[in-house]
Amino acid sequence: MTTKLFGEPVRRREDARLITGRGRYLDDLGAGALAAAFVRSPHAHARVLDVDVEAALDVEGLVAIYTYEDLSGPMAEPLPVLIPHPQLHAPRTGYPLANGVVNHVGEPVVMVVATDRYVAEDAAERIVVTYEELPVVVGVDAAREARAWVHEDVPDNVAARHHQETGDVEPALAAAPHTLSFTQYIERSACTPLEGKGVLARWDADDGSLRVHSSTQASTSVRAAIAAKLELSLDRVEVIAPDVGGGFGVKIVHPWPEELLVPMAAIRLGREVKWAEDRREHFVSSAHERQQRQEITVGYDDDGRVTALDVHVWHDNGAYTPYGIIVPIVTATQLVGPYVIPVYRVVVESVYTNTVIVTPYRGAGRPQGCYAMERTMDRIADALGLDRADVRRRNLITPDQFPYDHHLTFQDGRPVIYDSGDYPGLLDKLVALVGWDEAEALRADARARGKLLGVGMALYVEGTGPGPYEGGHVQVLGSGKVLVSTGLTSQGQGHETVFAQIVASELGVPIDDVEVHTGDTRRFGYAVGTFASRAAVMSGNAVALAARGVREKAIRIAAEVLEANPEDLEIDEGLVKVKGTPGASVPLRTVAVLSNPLRYAFDEAARQATQFAGPGDDSKPPVAPGDAPGLEHRDYYSPIRSTFASGAHAAVVEIDPRTWEIDVVRYAVVHDCGNVVNPMIVEGQVHGGVAQGVGGALYERMAYDADGQLQNASFMDFLMPYASEVPDVVIDHQETPSPLNPLGIKGAGEAGVIPGTAAIASAIEDATGRRIASMPISPTELYDLMRDETAERTAASQETGVPA
Amino acid sequence: MTSVDASRTDSERTVRVTVNGVPREATVPVRRVLADALRDDLGLTGTHVGCAHGVCGSCTVLVDGDPVRSCLVLAVQVDGAEVTTVEGLAREDHQGGQVLHPVQEAFRECHALQCGFCTPGFLVTIAAGLEARDRSAEITEEEVDELVGGNLCRCTGYANIKKAVRHAAATMRDAQ
């Protein structure tokens, strides 16, 4: 077939508009709409004593001011606990606008609506809010000490205790030939997409309907949330995700206060209202992630094989828990990675702090789990004097062990059963790709240049494509155009291209005939959202199934027209053909016309389908029982459980012992996401993920002071990598198809970021001989560590040339 | 209490500026930044604001040929100037179609964009840089680093953006 596009590096169909300035991002829409701005808390923890709007009332162009007092019905209740969990025993959420108490800097207190954003901010800065400051909790350790409480009815600051075990860990540890116990930390970073959040709402008073555009990863659920909170019937609300300028997780959370307040104002004012988040707002009011304290005890034998693992994770969830405990559950369950862990116990305590909420950021708890497991492997290797790659190899699940059941329960409530993979294969490829066995020569070369060089590696397994489901709709029009829609949203992953490739391949049509729509509830009302590396797996399979349905119907109709057996027909380049009989064919667009019996001929194509056009069989109804007019099909893909992608990364770092600058000079990736739909796009995802991994390991951190003020809430101070900070990445692929879905694919979106922190920590430790137990690490921190006489040295510690 | 009206007539100015080769005029409050004037007054929404403090480079436009962060420039400052935005990079062919700039072509060919939000800033910066250099010379890695080094992208990891710069430079050299 000439139309086989699955697996090809097809150039992206979304690019034509995006490179010419014709993209339609949230703030590009709604010209002339009123603008909203917010008065946000300057305090991390305070009582709101008074809101005085008097001075703002004279601002010309002011339209409305809303405080908590102006909210009613469900809007006056706390925001939803979006993902409840039995072990989230003390869930707490904020209000759309603060109700008496603020729990982090940036929490919205007042909404101002005015003729434009400048005027809205003029008014906002004239509003005087009087606060009574309360004691502040910042960081996991302060939360544990519980000298102050974030929520006065949660006196230990613990929101959830999550616990899983696969055996009796204490006797297993007691019986282990060797044990190691250690504590390590990882700090906060954040998604920081270049486009912040944003909402545009238009109320049609005559129709009683609301149309909302939101820069979201979950338009169907934003729709449901708006309908519930504003007490509208679901059919009166439509939500569209337009072009979205990056998400990485932060836009999966919903409803954000602004997603409810902006539509509320649009309804009350009968005017179009828009809010586009600015950069500082994004830092202090959108979500962060990663921060954990990890206490690990591991038992292992003389060969370095793990016999038991006991992990206690203290997870900082910020001020509220709207997204439940998804992130720490992912940490707890993905921690075991590609390894056989005979007995495993994990306890997560998720604690409140007076900081921005913690919800998934690309990787969503996996980077922390990988950091825990991979640093454990490094410590075992160090303790036994073994090569780090060898210790890993001895612990790997082998290809003959699939499906492999870890006897854990994943974030979707389903068992952690790995479907397929070849982890020794990954490790072998990585060792070759990065030149692991030649590291000593590299070290010597660096030493000669006055530099310290180290190599590190990290492996991961990533549960991708969790359910419950996604759907797809495929329709062939009489023009020959093939419309594809799925409810799941896009934030730059190339879904318009990938889904078009799948449908073109399945249906047998030129890709140029295919038009894909995502994230628009007017086109597809049932969807879950874009997160957990699930779009290709879920919507990819759903549109494939929908295309197969269309194909089956097209062949059935064409078989009648061509007076042929359906088994003898194929579809190629948009033509339904009798195999091996040149000339015996009918265009798919004609089949589409014929599929819809008509009374009225409004154009030449329609004339072919009218009631007097053909012979017809007057003994049968024009539309057979069980059939439907039109060449279209809707289908859903709902997996029994997640599919598990995997990979292995290695970093080579060079450190300048005068400045302690850390330079990642080589970064190698071996990646396995099953069958690849578009290798160009998958590599792009890996590149972007690695950049975020390097950023998270060396540059990015949310620097809160003890008062809960975010000290680096701008791109001046939060060090998101420029091109100069991102190493060249070499990539090798392995493809172990998933047996769980029709296309054999696994997710690829988050993979690149997961092992970065672990691999780079390992490489720095290798270069310096100092134990690295807190990440990210800056040159200053490394300098302090090197000068600290009490700092732990690795057993493999080499002569590093550290100045005395 | 005095009334506060930032948009009152005496704080407005009429700005005349040639945008993408077309003379345009807008009456704007003096405090309006160029990015907002382009987007809201002239309807050119291809220029995006990523940080509003001059760090990310998403809002970069060319003012008299030089890259400028339009979030840090007031609209009144460009009175009389020539401004090029991403919408002005492609030129029209003789049949009313569009011929993309080699940098635009290269971005598509090399998968140098994902979400596309930062892309306009990269495109105008790189286009200006490539046009200002000796096209016949092989582009060096130092030049590539310089052209992409001032803008933030959160999606691509920059590898394909660098590749696109090399690709565009080669196209421009071969087109001589």
Over residues A528-564, the pLDDT tens digits come to 999 999 999 999 999 999 999 999 999 999 999 999 9
**Mean of the pLDDT values across residues A695-699?**
97
Establish if A234 belongs to a structural domain.
yes
**Would you say B6 and B45 are in contact if contact means Cβ atoms under 8 Å apart?**
no
Q: How many CB atoms lie within 10 A of CB A432?
A: 13
Q: Judging by beta carbons within 10 Å of its beta carbon (0-12, 13-18, 19+), is residue A615 exposed, middle or buried?
A: exposed
Same domain, A621 and A652: no
| Residue pairs spanning A and B at CB distance below 8 A | 190
pLDDT in tens, A236-275: 999 999 999 999 999 999 999 999 999 999 999 999 999 9
In the stretch 84-113 of chain B, residues with CB closer than 8 A to chain A read: 85-87, 89-90, 98, 100, 104, 107-109, 111, 113
Cβ-based contacts of B148 with chain A (< 8 Å): 723
- Residue pLDDT, tens place only, B165-176: 999 999 999 998
Q: How far apart are CA A12 and CA B89, in angstroms?
A: 20
Contact A245 B48 (CB under 8 A): yes
Both A498 and A592 in a single domain?
Answer: yes
Question: A339: helix, coil or strand?
Answer: strand
Cβ–Cβ under 8 Å, residues A671 and A682: yes
Shortest distance, CA A32 to any CA of chain B (angstroms): 8
Q: Is any Cβ of chain B less than 8 angstroms from the Cβ of A194?
A: yes
Domain B10-88 homologous superfamily, CATH: Beta-grasp domain (3.10.20.30)
- Phi then psi for residue B173, to 5 deg, are -70, -45
Distance from CA of A696 to the nearest CA of B (A): 12
Asked if residue A340 belongs to a domain, the reply is no
Q: Classify B91-174 by CATH class.
A: mainly alpha
| Residue numbers of A between 279 and 338 with CB closer than 8 Å to B | 279
pLDDT category at B14 given cuts 50, 70, 90 is very high
Min Cα–Cα distance to chain B from A11, Å: 7
Considering only CB atoms, A688 lies closest to which of B50, B55, B157, namely B157
Residues of A in contact with B151 (CB under 8 A): 722
Q: Tokens 């494509």 appear where?
A: A465
Whole-Å CA distances, B69 to A570, A789, B51, B52, B151: 55, 47, 11, 9, 10
Contacts of B113 in chain A (CB under 8 A): 15, 18-19, 492
Backbone angles phi, psi at A753, to 5 degrees: -90, -20
A653 & A756 share domain: yes
Mean of all residue pLDDT scores within chain A = 96
Q: Taking CB atoms and an 8 Å limit, are A723 and B145 in contact across chains?
A: yes
Read off the CATH number of the domain in which A40 is found. 3.90.1170.50
Contacts of A692 in chain B (CB under 8 A): 154, 157
Q: Determine contact, residues A782/A662, Cβ cutoff 8 Å.
A: yes
Question: CB-hemisphere CA count at 13 Å for A124?
Answer: 20
CA distance linking residue A377 with residue A388, whole number of Å: 7
Residue A799 in this model has a pLDDT that exceeds 70: no
Percentage of chain A exceeding pLDDT 90? 94
Q: Do A12 and B111 touch (CB under 8 A)?
A: yes
Q: CB–CB of A31 and B43 under 8 A? A: yes
The reply to whether A730 touches chain B by the CB within 8 Å rule is: no
**Owning domain of residue A57:** 32-134+197-244+251-285
What is the total count of domains within chain A? 3
Nearest beta carbon to residue A492 from set B100, B155, B159: B155
A679 Cβ under 8 Å from any chain B Cβ:
no
Query: Beta A108-114 vs A178-186: how paired, if at all?
Result: unpaired
Across the range A132-136, mean pLDDT stands at 98
Determine the 3-state secondary structure of A725 from DSSP: helix
Whats the size of chain A, residue-wise?
A: 804
Claim to verify: residue A502 and residue A628 sit in the same structural domain: yes
Query: Which residues face A517 on adjacent strands?
Result: A485
Distance CA(A279)–CA(B53), nearest Å, equals: 9
Binned at pLDDT 50, 70 and 90, residue B2 comes out as very low
Q: What is the CA radius of gyration of chain B?
A: 18
| Residue A304 resides in a domain | no
pLDDT at A1: 43
Burial letters for B108-146: b for 16+ Cβ neighbours within 10 Å, e otherwise? Answer: bbbbbbbbbbbbbbbbbbbbbbbeeeeeeeebeeebbee
Q: Using CA atoms, how far apart are residues A210 and A769, in angstroms rounded to an integer?
A: 61
Question: For residues A759 and A790, is the Cβ–Cβ distance under 8 A?
Answer: no
CA distance A289 to A357: 8
Residue from the list B5, B89, B145 with its beta carbon closest to the beta carbon of A60: B5
Q: What angle do CA A510, A482, A504 make, to 5 degrees?
A: 40
The whole-angstrom separation of Cα A133 and Cα A114 is: 30
- Residue A154 domain flag: no
Q: How confident is the model at residue B10 (pLDDT cuts 50, 70, 90)?
A: low
Which among A54, A111, A15, A4 is positioned nearest to A503, based on CA atoms?
Answer: A4
CB distance A723–B48 less than 8 Å? no
- Let me know: does A256 contact A16? Beta carbons within 8 Å: no
A632 in the same domain as A522: yes
Which carries the bigger pLDDT value, residue B96 or residue A656?
A: A656
Residue among A288, A289, A290, A287 nearest A185 (CA): A290
Quickly list DSSP for A354-378: SS--B---TTTTHHHHHHHHHHHHH
3-class DSSP state of A235? helix
- How far is Cα A766 from Cα A776, in angstroms, rounded to an integer? 16
Tokens 């690490």 correspond to what residue? A777
| pLDDT tens digit sequence for A268-296 | 999 999 999 999 999 999 999 999 999 99
A715–B55 C-beta distance less than 8 A: yes
Strand partners, A201: A212, A273
The verdict on A480 and A618 lying in the same domain is yes
Q: What is the pLDDT of residue A3?
A: 53
Q: Are A291 and A368 in contact (CB under 8 A)?
A: no
Q: How far, in Å, CA of A41 to CA of A152, rounded?
A: 19
* Cis peptide bond upstream of A403, omega within 30: yes
Looking at the structure, do residues A377 and A456 belong to the same domain, yes or no?
yes
Q: Residues of A with CB below 8 A from B153's CB?
A: 194
Domain check: are A764 and A720 in the same one? yes
> Is B90 in Cβ contact with A20 (below 8 Å)?
yes
Tokens 């590599």 sit at which residue? A683
**How far lies A132's CA from each of A419, A781, B176, in Å?**
55, 36, 69
Number of residues that this document lists for chain B: 176
Residues A478 and A555 in one domain: yes
CA distance B13 to B36: 15
Give pLDDT, residue A641. 94
Please report residues of B whose CB lies closer than 8 A to that of A11: 108-109, 111
Tell me which residue in B4, B43, B119 faces A18 most closely, judged by beta carbons.
B119
CB contact under 8 A, A118 and B2: no
Q: Count Cβ atoms below 10 Å from residue B176 Cβ, excluding itself.
A: 6
CA B146 to chain centre: 16
Hey, which residues 744-763 in chain A have their CB within 8 Å of chain B? 752
Structure tokens at B124: 């105008």
* A4 CB within 8 Å of a chain B CB: no
3 state SS of B86: helix
**Cβ distance of B117 and A22 shorter than 8 Å:** no
Q: What is the pTM of this model?
A: 0.96
DSSP A115: S
Q: Is residue A170 part of a domain?
A: no
Strands A198-204 and A209-214: antiparallel
Cα R_g (chain A), whole angstroms = 28
Whether A510 and A441 map to the same domain: the answer is no
pLDDT digits (tens, 9 = 90+) for A321-377: 999 999 999 999 999 999 999 999 999 999 999 999 999 999 999 999 999 999 999
Per the CB < 8 A criterion, the answer to whether A385 and A391 are in contact is no
Residues A256 and A216 in one domain: yes
* Interchain pair A12, B108: CB under 8 A: yes
Supply the pLDDT for residue A798.
57
Most B CBs within 10 Å, among A11, A17, A20, to test the B interface = A20
Strand B82-84 versus strand B12-19 pairing type: parallel
> Where in chain B are the domains?
10-88, 91-174
**Cβ–Cβ under 8 Å, residues B118 and B80:** no
- Residue found by looking up tokens 């150039």 in the block: A11
Cα–Cα distance measured from residue B176 to residue B161, given in angstroms and rounded to the nearest whole number: 23
CA dihedral sign of residues A547, A551, A557, A561: positive
Write phi, then psi, for B25 (nearest 5 degrees): -140, 140
Q: Is A142 helix (H, G, I), strand (E, B) or coil?
A: helix
Phi and psi at A423, nearest 5°, equal: -75, -40
> Which chain A residues have a beta carbon less than 8 Å from that of B104?
19-20
Q: Residue A252, Cα to own-chain centre: how many angstroms?
A: 8
A711 touches chain B (CB under 8 A): no
Is residue A570 assigned to a domain? yes
Q: Are B123 and B101 in contact (CB under 8 A)?
A: yes
Q: Is the pLDDT of residue A225 over 60?
A: yes
Contacting residues of A for B40, CB less than 8 Å apart: 31, 116
Residue A155 lies in a domain: no
- Mean pLDDT value across residues A68-77: 98
Q: What value does the mean pLDDT take over residues A471-496? A: 97
**Angular region, A743: left φ>0, alpha ψ -120 to 50, beta rest:** alpha
Per-residue pLDDT, A803: 45
pLDDT digits (tens, 9 = 90+) for A605-627: 888 888 777 767 888 898 989 99
- Condensed to tens digits (0 to 9), the pLDDT of residues B126-144 reads 999 999 999 999 999 999 9
In this model, does residue A2 exceed pLDDT 50? no
Distance to chain B for A781, nearest Cα, Å: 25
Q: For position A616, what pLDDT does the model report?
A: 73
Alpha-carbon distance of A402 to A426, in angstroms, equals: 16
Virtual torsion, Cα A115, A118, A121, A122, nearest 10 deg: -90
Which CATH number goes with the domain that contains A475? 3.30.365.10
DSSP B39: I
When scoring B87, B110, B155 by the number of chain A Cβ atoms within 10 A, the one with the most, hence best to mutate, is B155
Determine the Cα–Cα distance for residues A347 and A414; give it in Å rounded to an integer. 19
Mutate to test the interface with A, among B154, B158, B162 (most CBs of A within 10 A): B154
The percentage of residues in chain A with a pLDDT greater than 70, rounded to a whole number, is: 99
Residue A169 lies in a domain: no
H helices within A299-397, ranges in order?
A: 326-334, 366-384, 388-395
At A143-187, the pLDDT tens digits run 999 999 999 999 999 999 999 999 999 999 999 999 999 999 999
Whether pLDDT at B3 is above 80 = no
Q: Are residues A709 and A615 in the same domain?
A: no
Q: What is the DSSP letter of B38?
A: I
Angle separating helix axes B119-132 and B102-109, nearest 10 degrees: 130
